[in-house]
Structure 1
């Protein structure tokens, strides 16, 4: 019999499992604390559990970690782990230490099927969804490994961002129990404000998340118009900007924060003109397609990789773009690049993926089409110009 992986269960599911074993709910709470708060794997260590329960668990269940293939530490303290998820697939997680927080970037899929043109993961294609246990295992390992490293019993990870490999909302059934484990006071006790799901814009799942487990929401926008976003974020062809912004409005009714974070990867000559910044102001303003959307913009320096055919906007251009948004009344930040010396920065996570989507061929075709039909870019004066040969 295959052992049940207890990392797959949020507290309610673990209580149901314990009931199957003839145990009461408080035993599930004790077990949950041992697993997530203390990082225990050996049931024999769980001294406040009845021996009869420990024996049952030892014969039927396990806490199954992900094998660590490699660990890389950046000069700035960022740590990247590569985890083996079987079948020739590996996913990456990144820990980003700061003075007032410790953030873990977690993967939800082996690869990604969305195929954003500026994202290294998307160029690898898609293999499969991760299970709840595989998502939680990244946090379970990182939290307890970091406590041992820093010789502390205190919590090290204060924030989790579902911004690693994959589109979280395309793995919804596994995502929600993982989020509940992160939030549970008997688990990791994270605040809803400190757990962020980043999405490319899967509108129906944004609505479901609002009802099932509202946490902070970040939306990968990257363009002010549908034609450009269609090219950069292909899912826009199914859920265009107006529908996405309307979903954001609905999400705010239940969100733990009173704003949506829009992520915007700065691509030289593609989406970084002052005119496009003014289009963003109009997009989320009172007269926008969904009315005023309370939001902040996070401008992300593009991290180039050979297959993208794209270039990073210059620092002066990023600052000028940001200033247009700030002058228009929008809270705007420029993300500090962390871990780029170990390929751990935004858009660089690639892992190892046995692609089932033939991504390399599709991306090559997209780049060829881009050469024949260049992306239209808005010049500062408002007229259309083209960025010849340009291909998240």
Structure 2
């Protein structure tokens, strides 16, 4: 698989021709679930019972669903509950608080998801964030990204995307992970792939994760974050949806010359275009946009670039709707890219703060394992040939 961007429909949909995964209950809307149950010759109310077991009780084994007749359990299982993803490798870090799983799909594609637990403390109520993938591989070809180096295999279905969240919710509720029983508080579409290039499936998964039980997992929209490297038409489309998730724009450079190198899509949608779209999203959704900025040693971490970033943000209306999230690069083996020096990171922060720009430095997880996005999948055989 080439690491070039390949064919791109600039409305936001990457072209990837592969067999589609089998249809799962999580690929259906609540209305479609009722229609499908009736199509099996079962009463309509069985759809709500099935959804309650899957989403409400988080029970993945239809044989256990005793509120359905035994014959119906088998029928429903065969029709709507194929195994979409199989765990094939797992790594833990941060004294067990970070769990990274590589999954194999029906066609051999390998993706990743990560569960990150943040314990309760004096300044934190405690929370669990799940980072999920939206594509097998990625076609954006950002050179510092392990996923981008492997190229795009295909889009994931809504069911495959939601599967990652459902599994995390089930494992947490059952107390299978270090830290005891818990629940998912935040979902970030920041794993493998460009979410906006798989817009319809990502939006369907986000709605399903957000929907109250028994139709979904009941995670508030404010706990959902969707990232993009700057697919402007889809950013604007998302602003007009009735789902006020947090938008995270992976900017990584405030000038077009450098961003063309770091984010090849910038040649289609430049810095001004993506920041204008981000401002449009903030003004429509009334949600602050997170400006993601990976700090790379001697590449984009100069204090002058922090000043330029501040000027470009402040040029957009009420620029207080932006928050800069600085991310120390988690380097991949053999890469020429590495994290900034601590002194350069501090200077970057200071220049943004001096300009009045809200800024934080992300607590990077998983450095002692294959922590970079796509790294575990690559080691596990993600790039199908």
TM-score if structure 1 supplies the norm length?
Answer: 0.82
Mapping of residues 246-285 of structure 1, within 5 Å: 246-255=276-285, 258-285=287-314
Mapping of residues 219-368 of structure 1, within 5 Å: 219-255=249-285, 258-285=287-314, 287-288=315-316, 292=319, 294-345=321-372, 348=375, 350-351=377-378, 352-354=381-383
Distance 1:75 1:42 in 2: 31
Q: For the structure 1 residues 24 and 253, does the alpha-carbon distance in structure 2 shift closer, same or farther, using more than 3 Å as the test?
A: farther
Q: Deviations over 1:147-168 (max 9, x none)?
A: 3315999652111100101001
* RMSD of aligned Cα (Å): 2.5
The offset of 1:250, in angstroms, is: 1.9
Aligned equivalent of 1:169: 196
Larger Rg: 1
The offset of 1:48, in angstroms, is: 3.0
Distance 1:136 1:330 in 2: 35
The offset of 1:349, in angstroms, is: 5.4
Aligned equivalent of 1:387: none
Aligned equivalent of 1:158: 185
CA contact (8 A) 1:259 1:295 kept: yes
SS in 1 for 2:319: coil
Distance 1:177 1:86 in 2: 20
- Which one of the candidate residues 137, 149, 152 is aligned to 1:123? 149
Distance 1:4 1:268 in 2: 45
Aligned residues: 352
Q: Deviations over 1:182-237 (max 9, x none)?
A: 10111211111111001111111112222333311101000011111111001111
Q: Which 10-residue stretch deviates more, 52-61 or 172-181?
A: 52-61
Aligned equivalent of 2:102: 82
Q: Deviations over 1:295-321 (max 9, x none)?
A: 111110011224532221111110110
Distance 1:4 1:198 in 2: 26
CA contact (8 A) 2:91 2:100 kept: yes
- Which one of the candidate residues 151, 162, 180 is aligned to 1:136? 162
Distance 1:47 1:297 in 2: 50
Aligned equivalent of 1:377: none
Q: Gapped runs of 5+ residues in structure 2?
A: 1-20, 120-125
Instruction: Report whether the alignment pairs 1:192 with 2:211.
Output: no
